[in-house]
Structure 1
Amino acid sequence: MTATADHGTLRVPRSINGIEQALTYEQRAGFYAELGPVEEADDREAVITSWWLRAMSAAYGPDRAGFRAAVQPVLGTTRVRPAEAAA
């Protein structure tokens, strides 16, 4: 199994709409409740990344190797604050 869907894209697009479509109704409520009050771009990115990982994990189910292969390139490019990198 490949890390991406047959058409060469991530199983869950890393966007608000992509994440929303992958979540259940109840999960969507939690996603928007967490995302709504966020004002800082870095904090917004953290919320999106957290929920994207949840959605991707569900999309890959028991295929943990596929999940890791799919998310690793994306996580390798996300921004980390200097204080977090040192921790």
Structure 2
Amino acid sequence: MSAQPVHSGAVEHPRVPRTIGGISSALRGSRRAQFFAELLEAQQGPELDGVLSAWWGRAMLDTDPDRDRIRSGAEAGTLPTTSMDDVLRRRQQHGAR
């Protein structure tokens, strides 16, 4: 298992634009209302940036073409896994701390 992206694509053109409109368009169902509720309460600056970053990540997950397959695999317990020891060993082999 690696930390490489599952889907290729230009970093400059993500599936979901990092904008309020892009995020809200990508969210499913009641998640859009939750996004706007948090957005309207956030103060400009780090708090607003945090809301946008968190919800952009959720929107990216909502629009992942393999979302349903991955969710089914997770629920069935059939997704590949690795131990934390393996992750740390691989990081050390590649010079990461």
TM-score by length of 2: 0.54
Question: Taking CA–CA contacts closer than 8 Å with sequence separation of 6 or more, which of the two structures ends up with the larger relative contact order?
Answer: 1
Structure-2 residue corresponding to 1:3: 9
Based on CA coordinates, which of the two structures has the bigger radius of gyration?
A: 2
Q: Deviation string for 1:23-66 (max 9, x for gaps)?
A: 1231111001111111131000000000000111222223xxxx
Q: Which runs of 4+ in 1 moved over 6 A?
A: none
The runs of 5 or more residues in structure 2 that have no matched partner are 1-6, 71-97
Query: Cα RMSD between the aligned structures?
Result: 2.0
Identity of counterpart residues, as a percentage?
36
Q: How many residues align?
A: 60
Q: TM-score scaled to structure 1, two decimals?
A: 0.60
Structure (1 or 2) with the greater helix fraction: 1
Q: Which runs of 5+ in 1 are unaligned?
A: 63-87
Q: 2:26 aligns with which of 22, 28, 34?
A: 22
